[in-house]
Amino acid sequence: MKKVALAAAMATVCFSTTSLQAGEKWDMPMAYSATNFHSATGAEFAKCITTGTSGDIEVTTHPSGSLFKGGDIKRAIQTGQAPIGERLLSGHQNENALFGFDSVPFLATSFDDSAKLWEAAKEPLTNLLDEQGLVLLYSVPWPPQGLYFKKEVNSVADMKGIKFRSYNNATARLAELTGMLPVSIEAAEISQAFATGVAEAMISSGSTGYDRKVWESLTHFYEVDAWLPRNYVMVNKDVWGKVSEANQNVIKGCAQMAEYAGNWRAKEYTGFTLNGLRAGGMTVGPAGEGLVGELKAIGKTMTAEWLEAAGDQGKAIVDAFNAE
Ligand code: PCA
């Protein structure tokens, strides 16, 4: 016991000495391109913490999967390899269906609905992450999801056999139900995947297509507004527990501002990036009625499947969303 206490005391001394001299350095891995609005919001959030804690905690963002690849970020934070980071929430749908609440087709299709759905889901998701040793700091949605192809597509039949880039379970399932072939690829790698033909289509926001200049390989973007998946910023719970109350409050304040600013940026980036796709030479517009009808039928199947997998907690989120 004594040894443990001594070790702890020494650690505290070392720790506070370091923090007096230079402050703690927190590396913040992020999965998406540096120019993306989530990354811009994260960079300002980092600055806010560094300034607000008077340098006690200095946060440096590492966008584009440069420190950890997107799929490895959550584990890196859970295991303490990085103290803080950002990731796509629904990327963890394979661990627990609840994480996919924001990728249920046609449940929440606008920014307002996305905010409402988040209100309903925030508490259960915070608890789920807490059980996994993570503290949720803020969350910002992506713009509405539409379909990218390298040819005109007017029906589900036109999609048959196409190699479809997926980013979570829902997108892989959508590929299956439309007769496409899902291949899981991180956003940071899609330009290459499309250029080499590893993938030929995807569902994503105008934002990700713009960030990755997909007009170099693809020709059509169909606005479907299928859902608005969310990114979230998390911090390792043990690391969080060691932050002073004053600095915790600073970080919470920075998180609130980041969430607010990120939401605005997401809205502004929606039109801007669709115009960017057009400027790149792509045909951009709403999906045809026939196609939308077929996608809605598939959406019903996927909604039923998700409700089944997410159980009572999933149902409670959808009920709370519909009740408002
Ligand atoms: N961009 C991310 C997730 C959703 C989006 O719009 C991606 O395509 O990976």
301 within domain boundaries: yes
In this structure, are 287 and 222 located in the same domain? yes
Atom of ligand 1 nearest to the CA of 207: 6
CA distance 300 to 306: 10
In this structure, are 182 and 317 located in the same domain? yes
Of the pLDDT bands very low, low, confident and very high (cuts 50, 70, 90), residue 324 is confident
Tens of pLDDT, residue by residue over 32-85, are: 999 999 999 999 999 999 999 999 999 999 999 999 999 999 999 999 999 999
From 102, 208, 277, give the residue whose CB has the most ligand 1 atoms within 8 Å, as the site to mutate.
208
Question: Domains in the chain: how many in total?
Answer: 2
Task: Name residues contacting ligand 1 (CB within 6 A).
Answer: 88, 142, 167, 187, 204-205, 207-208, 229
CA of 210 to the centre of ligand 1 (A): 11
User: Does residue 11 have a pLDDT over 50?
Assistant: no
Question: Which residue's alpha carbon is at the smallest distance from atom 9 of ligand 1?
Answer: 187
Those residues whose C-beta lies under 8 Å from the C-beta of residue 210, and which sit 6 or more positions away, are 272, 273, 276, 277, 280
CA of 248 to the centre of ligand 1 (A): 30
Atom of ligand 1 nearest to the CA of 187: 9
Tens of pLDDT, residue by residue over 131-164, are: 999 999 999 999 999 999 999 999 999 999 999 9
Residue 271: the pLDDT is 97
Q: Taking the model in full, what pTM does it have?
A: 0.92
Please report, as a single letter, which amino acid is at residue 153: V
CA of 65 to the centre of ligand 1 (A): 13
The mean predicted confidence, pLDDT, of the chain is: 94
In this structure, are 250 and 287 located in the same domain? no
In this structure, are 186 and 92 located in the same domain? no
In this structure, are 290 and 265 located in the same domain? no
CA distance from start to end of the chain: 54
Atom of ligand 1 nearest to the CA of 167: 9
When pLDDT is averaged across residues 183-197 and rounded to a whole number, the result is 98
From 37, 111, 204, give the residue whose CB has the most ligand 1 atoms within 8 Å, as the site to mutate.
204
When pLDDT is averaged across residues 90-110 and rounded to a whole number, the result is 98
In this structure, are 286 and 215 located in the same domain? yes
Tens of pLDDT, residue by residue over 233-275, are: 999 999 999 999 999 999 999 999 999 999 999 999 999 999 9
- b/e per residue 220-234 (b: at least 16 CB within 10 A): bbbbbbbbbbbbbbb
Look up residue 89 and give its two tokens. 């929430």
Task: Residue 168: name the closest of 95, 239, 234 by CA.
Answer: 95
274 within domain boundaries: no
- List the domain range (segments joined by +) for residue 113: 2-141+231-269
**CATH number of residue 35's parent domain:** 3.40.190.170
In this structure, are 193 and 213 located in the same domain? yes
Place of tokens 């749908």: 93
In this structure, are 75 and 198 located in the same domain? no
195 within domain boundaries: yes
Cβ-based neighbour number of residue 41 at 10 Å:
27
209 within domain boundaries: yes
Contacts 24+ apart (CB under 8 A), 291-296: 291/153, 291/154, 291/155, 291/156, 291/222, 292/224, 294/155, 294/156, 295/105, 295/156, 295/224, 295/226, 296/105, 296/106
In this structure, are 110 and 66 located in the same domain? yes
User: Does residue 2 have a pLDDT over 90?
Assistant: no
Look up residue 36 and give its two tokens. 């993306």
- For residue 108, the surrounding DSSP H or E stretch is none
In this structure, are 64 and 204 located in the same domain? no
Characterize the bridge pairing of strands 146-149 and 220-223.
antiparallel
275 within domain boundaries: no
In this structure, are 263 and 291 located in the same domain? no
CA of 208 to the centre of ligand 1 (A): 6
87 within domain boundaries: yes
181 within domain boundaries: yes
CA distance 324 to 319: 9
From 142, 183, 191, 230, give the residue whose CB has the most ligand 1 atoms within 8 Å, as the site to mutate.
142
Cβ-based neighbour number of residue 86 at 10 Å:
28
**Which region holds residue 311: left if phi is over 0, alpha if psi is between -120 and 50, else beta?**
left
Do residues 110 and 227 make contact, with C-beta atoms less than 8 angstroms apart? no
If DSSP codes are grouped into helix, strand and coil, which group holds residue 75? helix
In this structure, are 77 and 118 located in the same domain? yes
276 within domain boundaries: no
